Amino acid sequence: TVDMAAGVVLVQRNGHEVGIEDSAAPIHDRDGKVTGAVLVFHDVTRARELAEKMAHLAHYDALTDLPNRVLLNERFVQATALARRHGRKAAILFLDVDRFKHINDSLGHGMGDKLLLSVATRLLACVRVSDTVSRQGGDEFLVLLPDIERPQDAAHFAKKILTALALPHRIDAQDLHVTMSIGIGVYPDDGRDLDTVIKSSDTAMYNAKENGRNNYQFFTQDMNTRVVERLCTEASLRGALERGEFSLHYQPKINLKTGALTGTEALIRWLHPIRGTIPPEQFISIAEDCGLITPIGNWVLREACRQAKAWVDAGVEAMPVAVNISAVQFRHKGFLEDVRDILTETGLEPGCLELELTESVLMPDAKSTGSTLRALKTLGVQLSVDDFGTGYSSLSYLTQFPIDTLKIDQSFVHKMLLNANDASVISAVISMGRDLNQRVIAEGVETEEQLRFLQTRQCNEGQGFYFCHPLNVEDFATFVRTRALPELHGGH
């Protein structure tokens, strides 16, 4: 055989190099002397490119080109070795895009993929060169922060990410608003290998979701107990509707000028056979995450409409009944048809149904949202913005969407007598509602002082314990029949 030099390349006339694999065999004359050689060259450019691509795909995510779990593990090993050597720490941030599934379902997977690319770009802009942003799969990302001195260093990056993600994503001429829930696990405090630290940060991330989403949480040991409780709640929740464990309570809305009853809000309660009455804040987010919110939401809508019609048939003066609609239920493809069918089925006049939507429901996709809201208004349904003031800073939707009512969040009402800024917000909302011909309702009115303040600002309506706690069906009917108008200007 003839030995060839290693790494031989062929150079074409245009200067392009061609990767080759070669083989050679000697040519002998009759006397056995080597008189030449036969060289065979194989163009392996495509094969090498394919091998390099396969090697890249083994370490990087196909959609975002971010490092995957394999490469993250390699870098985690390096980071922990560095941390041990210098007495430092490392951290894993587990990030999950809030309600991403509903964007995929309503706008399509193509739009969802573009959103993930936009998220990935922003994440990279928030971290150091030495950090690793990795896609875990779906809408989940991991950020490895090597060489940090203390856990609060990780919180700095979490805050930076939340701020960056709060800005709208401009995709295909649409502004998409998304938030993230972030869990933080620290090496070596919360685990000494990647799987354990990721598990800790994942647990913390779910805790962030339970705390209202769009925030970060550090892992703590008692979270493991809460995870078990959550799993038990989810298991019980899956059969609660069929077992008839839900009921509705009704809280009156009061005209602050006349004291008249102007409507009521339907509030779901879960009558758990072992744990007793469970308020919605303890199970609604779980229902959203495990795909149960739409059937539960439709049950609330149907039951509230049925009960409102029953009151009218019993001679009670017709009044609007308000139902809270979650983002998942609102974005469900059959939502509009569900509302129409339930109104037809129960016989309730559309004007007696009010749908309460939070700002986070309205903002993610203004075009689709506007279309649905206009269809609901054509149907005759009333629309209100719940928890107004706690969501997005943009107020343009108040003129874009056919909103009837603004509900001032109770957090402002509770602090308005102690905090001038909260008082100013309430005054501004009332004034804005008046200018836009929208009713304004203050939630969480609990004291006479709060009532007086709202009256001096000419707030239209109030709702809260000062007037009445939420009541079951029988007690609410009694309240409507027997109540006298409260002396709003002279005491409760």
Digit-coded pLDDT (tens) for 94-114: 999 998 887 887 788 899 999
Q: Report DSSP state, residue 44.
A: -
- Predicted confidence at residue 490, as pLDDT, reads 42
Quote the CA–CA distance of 99 and 328 in Å, as a whole number.
8
- Confidence label for 229 from pLDDT (cuts 50, 70 and 90): confident
Tokens of 394: 């943009």
Tokens of 57: 């795909």
From residue 23, how far is each of 8, 44, 361 by CA, in Å? 11, 13, 67
| Residue of 49, 44, 34, 51 lying closest to 8 (CA atoms) | 44
Whether residue 319 is predicted with pLDDT greater than 80 in this model: the reply is: yes
**Structural domains of the chain ordered from first start:** 9-51 (no CATH), 61-220 (3.30.70.270), 237-482 (3.20.20.450)
- Give the list of residues 6+ apart from residue 298 with CB closer than 8 angstroms, or none: 329, 338, 342
Contact indicator for 458, 441 with CB cutoff of 8 Å: no
Query: How confident is the model over 193-226, as pLDDT tens digits?
Result: 999 999 999 999 988 998 888 999 999 988 877 7
From residue 430, how far is each of 361, 390, 406, 426, 453 by CA, in Å? 22, 15, 9, 6, 12
Whether residue 167 is predicted with pLDDT greater than 50 in this model: the reply is: yes
- Confidence label for 487 from pLDDT (cuts 50, 70 and 90): low
- Predicted confidence at residue 3, as pLDDT, reads 55
Task: State which H helix or E strand residue 357 sits in.
Answer: strand 353-358
Whether residue 290 is predicted with pLDDT greater than 80 in this model: the reply is: yes
Whether residue 486 is predicted with pLDDT greater than 70 in this model: the reply is: no
- Predicted confidence at residue 19, as pLDDT, reads 74
Tell me which residue has tokens 């439709």: 298
Phi, psi of 233 (to 5 degrees): -60, -45
Whether residue 175 is predicted with pLDDT greater than 70 in this model: the reply is: yes
- Predicted confidence at residue 13, as pLDDT, reads 82
What SS3 class is residue 121? Answer: helix
Which has more pLDDT, 361 or 275?
Answer: 275
- Confidence label for 489 from pLDDT (cuts 50, 70 and 90): low
- Give the list of residues 6+ apart from residue 226 with CB closer than 8 angstroms, or none: 207, 210
- Rounded to the nearest integer, the mean pLDDT of the chain is 88
Exposed/middle/buried for residue 426 (C-beta within 10 Å: 0-12, 13-18, 19+): buried
